[in-house]
Every structure is written in C-alpha cells, then in structure tokens.
C-alpha cells in the first residue's frame, strides 16, 4: 500500500483550473521535487495537501486514510502531520528564535497557555535540541529578525520539526536565499529526510536543485502533471516541455548555481558560524 496517494486532485478558481486531476502515489517516504513555471499550480497543490485550501474534487489518501474530508480536530491533527515551510519563512520577526520554534507545538496547546507563552520545560529542551541539530542553537535567544535568511529558514524548519511531522511540505524554500544559504537549507531538508525517514515534498523553481536533491521529480504544466520520474530522466528536452518551449527557456535561467559553490568554502563558513 502506498504511503500517500493523490487521486485526481483538482482545484478550480472560477473558470480557471489551477490543479487539474493530479494523480500520483508515493510508495515509501521519498524526497520529491515539484517543478514548473509560474502559475503551473505547484503552491495550490501543496496547500491542498496540507488542507490550507479545500480541493474542488479528488482525494488525498495517507496511510490508507482519506484525509481530504477531515474536519475540526482531525483536520488540525493532519495539518500538524504535514508541516509547511514557506519562501518567506513566516516567523514572528520580533519574537526570539526559541519561541518561534515552540510555536510549532501550538496545535496541541491550550489557547491560554499559548497566550501567556507558557511552554513546558520538556518542549523548551526539545526546541533547543532541534536548533542544535540544525546548527543554530547559539541564536536561540536572538530575535528572529536578527538572523540571516538562511538561518531564519532553518528556524522555520526547526518549528516544523517540533510538530514531529511525517511529511514536510516546502513551498519554494530557497527562492529568497543566496546560493550558499540555499545549499545549507537544501542539505538540511535532505538530512531530515534521510536521517528521520520523513517524506519531503518541495516546490522548487530551479532544475538543478530538483535534480541534485530529489529522488523523484514531478513536473507540472497548466495544472497537470506532465512529468514524473527520476532526476536522470529529467533531460533538457523534458525540461523544455515542462517549462514550455518558449525561447526564454534555458538551463541557466532555471539554475540557482548551487553546483558552483566550493565545498571547502562552505565548510569554512559553517565552522565560522558555529564559532560565533
Ligand atoms: N486564491 C486564488 N484565487 C484565484 N486564483 C488563484 C488563487 N491561488 C492561485 N490561483 C491561480 O491558480 C493558478 C496556480 O497558481 P499557483 O500559485 O498554484 O502556481 P505556482 O505554480 O505555485 O506559481 P509560482 O511559481 O508563481 O509560485 C494560477 O493561475 C493562479 O493565478
Ligand atoms: Mg507558488
């Protein structure tokens, strides 16, 4: 039985069909990249998976259970099992890093405890452990806004991990980052997938990132899945079909240039960061 089954998932906004009968199954937790030009329906698909948006039709079946019709507490429980990460991090800028991470437990906390920022010690310890695992524990007391973009995205990942999710949904997690930070964040997501066995589904705006980090790539065009295969099968010709055969397409324009980063330099920067 597949872990996740998406069956003819469709979302219409008036006459516009944003996601059109998308169907795929994930046999075992994998790292999946979703690519496609702007407006292809990538974000809408992720938002439906997380139930931020209701589907117009179709089903989402996770571990044999239809999660597309859940309501109330059951819907919230599903939402905490598939944590979302966004391009703009969505942290509370003036709040400290640990509190931002602790907000990942909001789904199971009472309103009153949340209002007064009352978190059990065990949660605080766990938050710091997660920050430590992601290499940013030393920033725990700082305001989120004082961190670099790459560090803020790692805080957002830590907040997601606080929910102990089975799936991490990432909507263009590196689109606002420079190549070095993009690499750190993608390495982090890959590690979480490999070490914890969590499924990662990431919308990615660049081909090279999808090829390099994902086990499987799904290409969308005008709401439909037009490619579903391995990075090796994602040739330049296939990519041209996904992005449309317009003259503006080139490998370069869809590249983050992560490849060009020098590993040694990156290690030096990691070491310097850890020493602060
Ligand atoms: N809330 C909404 N109301 C109306 N139309 C919407 C809404 N959200 C998305 N759409 C439309 O649905 C289509 C798919 O949008 P979506 O944001 O999913 O694309 P995307 O692949 O994520 O694009 P991008 O790469 O620019 O983020 C677009 O035509 C968009 O205009
Ligand atoms: Mg989008």
Q: Which of 34, 41, 55 to mutate to test the pocket of ligand 1 (most atoms within 8 A of CB)?
A: 41
Residue 147 domain-assigned (yes or no): no
Q: Is the CB of 41 under 6 A from ligand 1?
A: yes
Three-state DSSP state, 128: helix
Domain boundaries, position 80: 4-87+165-275
**Which residues, other chains included, contact 186 with Cβ-Cβ below 8 Å and sequence gap of 6+?**
173, 174, 209, 212, 213, 258
Residue 219 domain-assigned (yes or no): yes
Residue 204 domain-assigned (yes or no): yes
pLDDT at residue 93 is higher than 90: yes
Residue 150 domain-assigned (yes or no): no
Residue 1 pLDDT class (50, 70, 90 cuts): confident
Q: Whose CA is nearest to atom 17 of ligand 1?
A: 43
Residue 81 domain-assigned (yes or no): yes
Read off the pLDDT of residues 22-44 as tens digits, 9 standing for 90 and up: 999 999 999 999 999 999 999 99
Residue 253 domain-assigned (yes or no): yes
Can you give the pTM of this predicted structure?
0.88
pLDDT at residue 158 is higher than 50: yes
CATH number, position 50: 3.40.50.300
Helix (H) or strand (E) holding 61: strand 57-62
Residue 254 domain-assigned (yes or no): yes
Mean pLDDT for 245-250 is: 52
Residue 100 domain-assigned (yes or no): no
Q: Which of 10, 11, 16 to mutate to test the pocket of ligand 1 (most atoms within 8 A of CB)?
A: 16
From ligand 1's centre to the CA of 33, what distance in Å? 18
Q: How many domains does the chain have?
A: 1
Q: What are phi and psi of 199, to 5 degrees?
A: -75, 135
Is the distance from CB of 82 to CB of 50 less than 8 angstroms?
Answer: yes
């Amino acid at each position: 039985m597949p872990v996740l089954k998406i069956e003819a998932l469709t979302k219409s906004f008036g006459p516009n069909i944003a996601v059109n009968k998308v169907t795929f199954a994930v046999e075992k937790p994998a790292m999946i990249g979703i690519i496609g030009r702007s407006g292809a329906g990538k974000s809408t698909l992720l938002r439906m998976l997380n139930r931020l948006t209701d589907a117009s039709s179709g089903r989402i079946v996770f571990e044999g259970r239809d999660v597309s019709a859940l309501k109330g507490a059951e819907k919230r429980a599903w939402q905490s099992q598939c944590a979302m990460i966004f391009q703009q991090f969505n942290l509370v800028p003036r709040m400290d890093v640990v509190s931002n991470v602790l907000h990942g437990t909001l789904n199971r906390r009472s309103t009153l405890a949340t209002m007064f920022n009352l978190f059990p010690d065990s949660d605080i310890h766990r938050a710091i452990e997660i920050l430590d695992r992601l290499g940013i524990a030393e920033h725990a007391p700082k305001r989120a806004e004082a961190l670099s973009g790459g560090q803020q995205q790692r805080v957002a990942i830590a907040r997601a991990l606080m929910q102990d999710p089975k799936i991490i949904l990432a909507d263009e997690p590196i689109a606002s980052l420079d190549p070095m930070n993009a690499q750190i964040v993608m390495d982090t997501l890959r590690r979480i997938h490999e070490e914890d066995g969590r499924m990662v589904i990431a919308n990615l705006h660049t081909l090279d990132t999808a090829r390099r980090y994902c086990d499987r790539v799904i290409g969308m065009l005008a709401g439909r899945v037009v490619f579903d295969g391995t990075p090796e099968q994602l040739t330049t010709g296939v990519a041209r079909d996904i992005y449309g055969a317009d003259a503006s397409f080139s490998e370069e324009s869809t590249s983050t240039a992560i490849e060009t980063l020098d590993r040694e330099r990156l290690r030096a920067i990691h070491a310097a960061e850890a020493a602060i």
